[in-house]
Amino acid sequence: MKIPPVKGTRDFYPQEMAVRNFIMEGWKAASIRNGFEEYDGPIFEHLKMYQIKSGQEIVEQLFHLTDRGGRELAIRPEITPTLARMVNQQINALPRPIKWFSIPRLCRAERPQKGRLREFFQWNVDIIDVDDPRADAEVIFTSIDFLRSTGLTTADIQAKISSRRLLAALLRSIGIDENKLESLYALLDKKAKLPCEAFEEMLAKEIPVKDQAERIRDLMEVTTIEDIPRIVHMNEAATAALDELKNVFSLLDLMGISDYCHFDMGIVRGLAYYTGMVFEVHATSGKLRAICGGGRFDNLLKDFGGPSIAATGMGMGDCVLEILLREKGLLTDSLATRMLDYYICCLDDELMSRAIVLTATLRQRGYVVDCVYKISSLGKQLKLASSTNARQSIILGQELIRDNQLVLKDMQSGNQRSIQYDHFLSDLSS
């Protein structure tokens, strides 16, 4: 019986694994460059972890299970709640500020589509206990720093930035009820993905007062920060939030990435826990979903029973990123799955045990080595050597029996030379 893979999952054959490693190594390098330390948590948590503050969308996409003890668990759809739990758990022992990164495997029961799967990897960087726009700017910088390192430019990607704090203050000044804010965020977050009429209909349902709905629509059409005070009455809270957002933009300018960064009132984010700056990076072509998204979540640690500590961060999935890198020709299919220093060819059954000894000796000295399993023609064995991307082949044949010599073949130039077995070993650098 043949069992197919589960819908929305991927198998990573060595070639796909090489791409995954390429992306992850880039993520790790960018994290380390920007001063983050790595952490991880379990792949499942108590179901209620995600029901506290992630929002309805995530709850609907949970893979959940009941263990034998009747505990309700869920496979992690994101790592931010785990981060909050872990930090709270050791809040007095951990040196702060905390700058942590992680690359968890996540599962969401979404309808699989281009760039969205049911299982994916997501790079997270988070800064905890820095109640300053510098941390927000640094999170955006780290994301762009990585994306730039792959070869993507301002022609390919843009960071769209806004503020939940500003939006909340503006909605309050329009007269929107406090308990409406969360569902309104979820709707406004979907605006760009919905047909106009569908959005209008849903907005009318959410905000039945026509004048308020009208003003929300006007607000969402604002294209520059400067226009905001012209459209809405700026109370004290809105002015403070606007100044804070302007500060983030000034810092991004100082960091030299302002060309990548744009204000966009339409960025609201789907998750419920954001409280301040919010951002997403999108491909400029606009056809793909967000490459990454994040923002400030100052209440999450408190919501998880900890102290009130500021936090900001982002998550970047591997799916949209890979599609974009391919589209832009920045990912070649020829990423090596392995690269050997030596491939050992053996032309005589009698020499196989010497081939095994030589392989073990070279491996012990730190070289990346493989050896043929079966005697075949030299041509066949050299083909195998090429397929392993070996830099050199070592050929054990008649010369070894006769004169204790092996043949060393440079796989790129094709040049070969004979060398005394003992000299070869003593010439090696280690």
Interacting span for ligand HAM (CB under 6 A) from 169-177, 178-186, 286-294, 410-418: 286-294
Among 30, 76, 78, 395, binds ligand HAM (CB under 6 A): 78
Regarding 320 and contact with ligand HAM (CB under 6 A), the answer is yes
Interacting span for ligand HAM (CB under 6 A) from 122-130, 141-149, 238-246, 355-363: 122-130
As measured in angstroms, the least distance from the Cβ of 392 to ligand HAM is: 41
Which element (helix H / strand E) includes 320? helix 319-327
How far apart CA 361 and CA 358 sit, in angstroms, is 5
Instruction: Choose among 262, 283, 281, 176: nearest CA to 219.
Output: 176
Among 27, 36, 100, 120, binds ligand HAM (CB under 6 A): 120
Regarding 117 and contact with ligand HAM (CB under 6 A), the answer is yes
Regarding 45 and contact with ligand HAM (CB under 6 A), the answer is no
- Given the complex with ligand HAM, which of 108 and 164 has the nearer CB atom? 108
Residues 6 or more apart whose Cβ sits within 8 Å of residue 33: 145
Among 128, 261, 315, 342, binds ligand HAM (CB under 6 A): 315
As measured in angstroms, the least distance from the Cβ of 253 to ligand HAM is: 23
Regarding 244 and contact with ligand HAM (CB under 6 A), the answer is no
As measured in angstroms, the least distance from the Cβ of 177 to ligand HAM is: 26
Q: Tokens standing for 17? A: 């694994």
> For residue 246, how many C-alpha atoms fall within 13 Å in the half-sphere facing its CB?
11
Q: Tokens standing for 71? A: 């505990």
The separation between the first and the last C-alpha atoms of the chain, rounded to the nearest angstrom, is: 51
- Given the complex with ligand HAM, which of 118 and 409 has the nearer CB atom? 118
Site for ligand HAM in 354-373 (CB under 6 A): none
Regarding 252 and contact with ligand HAM (CB under 6 A), the answer is no
Regarding 301 and contact with ligand HAM (CB under 6 A), the answer is no
Burial 291-330, CB ≥16 within 10 A → b, else e? bbbbbbbbbbbeebeeeebbbbbbbbbbbbbbbbbeebee
- Given the complex with ligand HAM, which of 82 and 388 has the nearer CB atom? 82
Residues 6 or more apart whose Cβ sits within 8 Å of residue 348: 375, 396, 397, 398, 401
Regarding 314 and contact with ligand HAM (CB under 6 A), the answer is yes
Instruction: Choose among 78, 52, 53: nearest CA to 63.
Output: 78
Place of tokens 């969308």: 57
Regarding 133 and contact with ligand HAM (CB under 6 A), the answer is no
- Given the complex with ligand HAM, which of 34 and 80 has the nearer CB atom? 80
How far apart CA 214 and CA 315 sit, in angstroms, is 33
As measured in angstroms, the least distance from the Cβ of 319 to ligand HAM is: 4
DSSP string, 197-208: HHHHHHHHHH--
As measured in angstroms, the least distance from the Cβ of 66 to ligand HAM is: 23
Among 10, 28, 105, 116, binds ligand HAM (CB under 6 A): 116
- Given the complex with ligand HAM, which of 319 and 369 has the nearer CB atom? 319
Q: Is 210 exposed, middle or buried (0-12, 13-18, 19+ CB in 10 A)?
A: exposed
Regarding 395 and contact with ligand HAM (CB under 6 A), the answer is no
Regarding 82 and contact with ligand HAM (CB under 6 A), the answer is no
Regarding 131 and contact with ligand HAM (CB under 6 A), the answer is no
Instruction: Choose among 418, 414, 394: nearest CA to 404.
Output: 418
Pair 55, 103: CB distance under 8 Å: no
Regarding 228 and contact with ligand HAM (CB under 6 A), the answer is no
Among 22, 88, 110, 148, binds ligand HAM (CB under 6 A): 110
